[in-house]
Amino acid sequence: MKSMTIVIRAELEIPDEWELVEHPSGVQALKIGDQFVDFDIAPLATTSLDPEAVWSDEDAELVDSILDTIVSLDGEINIGFAQ
């Protein structure tokens, strides 16, 4: 079996009223109003070779089989202020 590493780095410009909090479950989350938002890996797939193909996670069986291969997952969220 092979091992694959995926590194995803995203930078978002967010409103000042959104805040980074620790959810009671222990997850670090973005608090937007009364909702808590966590970020996770979401595999998307298509069967089309079209350059304008639609990619989705609708094939739950495929998504589950991919997610089942994850042996570790680590994420970090930081909020900084624009200078």
pLDDT tens for each residue of 63-73: 999 999 999 98
Is the pLDDT confidence value at 82 over 80? no
Q: How confident is the model at residue 30 (pLDDT cuts 50, 70, 90)?
A: very high
Read off the tokens for 42: 């979401």
Q: How confident is the model at residue 43 (pLDDT cuts 50, 70, 90)?
A: very high
Q: Distance between alpha carbon 38 and the CA centroid of its chain, in Å?
A: 7
Is the pLDDT confidence value at 55 over 80? yes
The model carries a pTM of 0.68
What residues contact residue 32 under an 8 Å CB cut-off, 6+ apart? 18
Question: Residue type at 19?
Answer: E
Taking the C-alpha atoms of residue 17 and residue 43, their distance in angstroms, rounded to an integer, is 30
CA distances from 49 to 35, 54, 56, 62 (A): 37, 10, 14, 18
Q: In this predicted structure, what is the pLDDT of residue 7?
A: 86
